[in-house]
Amino acid sequence: MTGEVPEEATATRSTIAQRLLRAVRKDGDGDGDGDQVDLRLVHHKRDVYRRVADRMAQLLPAPPAALRVALMRLCEEDDPRVLSPGGGERVDEALVDQLREILIALTVIFEYIEGPYVRVVELVVRNGDKPVVYRNKTYADGLDVPHRVTEARIMAGETETRFTVYPPTAAEV
């Protein structure tokens, strides 16, 4: 050691270890990002469910808030951070059944274009005997998209990342 007293060096290593442990505890998945990555995904999920519920409110006689809760149940959303704070919202099972009858698919696509990302929410519903596709585009900065999206672009050169939200059996892990 270069002039350090052994006790001071041990104390410094101990302090560094404690800081690291605190950081990892705050970072629930241990990837060193303080769970900002997961928070971005939660933000996008909340926004997607809200937008889809608003669209479904034009097709079904129900308020968007009830449709959002029913939609999350139908899509088997189980992340408590996506659900409303307090979480005491009652799920209308009849509304879940109505959604199941008309919803064919719900997909979220992140496309990388030079500059911002484009998030496309693609909703496919039954209208009588034919499917109807609704698309909603929003733009997101590279720092705002979920980690999996930027990782796929950087590591594999992919310019598009898809998340199948419904049907849930086809959803990515």
8 A C-beta contact, residue 107 and residue 133: no
pLDDT in tens, 32-59: 444 554 688 888 899 999 999 999 999 9
Q: Where are the domains of the chain?
A: 32-170
Q: Which of 32-41, 88-97, 104-113 has maximum average pLDDT?
A: 104-113
Q: What pLDDT score was predicted for residue 157?
A: 82
Residues 100-125 have a mean pLDDT of 92
**CA separation for the pair 59, 107 (Å, rounded):** 18
8 A C-beta contact, residue 13 and residue 5: no
Measured CA distances, 154 to 56, 144, 147, 159 (Å): 35, 15, 10, 9
Q: Three-state SS for 91?
A: coil
In the chain, the percentage of residues whose pLDDT exceeds 70 is 72
